[in-house]
Amino acid sequence: MSDQTDVDTFPDTTLIELTAGVVQSYLTNNQMQPDQVPHLMQQVHDKFAHLQAGQGTADTSTTADTSEPQHEPPVKPRNSVRKNDVVCLECGKTFQTLKRHIRTEHGMDESAYKARWDLPASMKLVAKSYSEKRSQMAKDLGLGENSAGRGRKKQ
Ligand SMILES: [Zn+2]
């Protein structure tokens, strides 16, 4: 039975005293705006609280998540392209094609948007029915069979 658990565990009054002491000695050596002092105290207090909790090495875990999306997407990113519309993962609005919207509304090009939401580069940000319609239109316009008129060889 070893009880070394309270070796690192200061009572909270000590934490405040430590904080006050550090801040006080900081202020004797540094000019500081009065409205910055609470912020400094908070920082110092957090630091001690952090050390007290024995998590000194895990310091990055609280602030290193900047690559994560800042809010929950309205649907799963991979399910955002649907039959009749595409959901904008930024604002939840739906469109037939997203490319122009994300550029004008969110200032992102398609690749930035895909990178942000971890979407495959090959994914089309176009409603499935819309892209079918487009290819049907292309066929109707004869774009799919442009070799029809070429038959005569000049000899
Ligand atoms: Zn949007």
| C-alpha of residue 90 to centroid of ligand 1, in Å | 5
Kindly report the three-state secondary structure assignment for every residue of 58-100: HHHHHCCHHHCCCCCCCCCHHHCECCCCEECCCCCCEECECHH
Q: Are 133 and 84 in contact (CB under 8 A)?
A: no
Distance in angstroms between the alpha carbons of the first and the last residue of the chain: 102
When pLDDT is cut at 50, 70 and 90, the band that residue 35 belongs to is confident
Answer whether residue 56 shows pLDDT above 70: no
- Enumerate domains of the chain plus CATH numbers: 77-140 (1.10.10.1550)
| C-alpha of residue 103 to centroid of ligand 1, in Å | 9
CA distance 106 to 125: 15
Tokens 């109707």 correspond to what residue?
140
What's the pLDDT score for residue 64?
47
When pLDDT is cut at 50, 70 and 90, the band that residue 113 belongs to is very high
What's the pLDDT score for residue 105?
97
Give the closest residue to 88 by CA, choosing from 102, 107, 78, 72. 102
What's the pLDDT score for residue 4?
52
Answer whether residue 98 shows pLDDT above 50: yes
Q: What is the DSSP letter of 108?
A: -
| Amino acid in position 75 | V
When pLDDT is cut at 50, 70 and 90, the band that residue 144 belongs to is low
Q: Name the residue with higher pLDDT: 85 or 130.
A: 85
- Its sign, for the CA torsion 95, 97, 99, 103, is negative
What's the pLDDT score for residue 86?
96
| C-alpha of residue 134 to centroid of ligand 1, in Å | 23
| C-alpha of residue 132 to centroid of ligand 1, in Å | 23
Answer whether residue 117 shows pLDDT above 80: yes
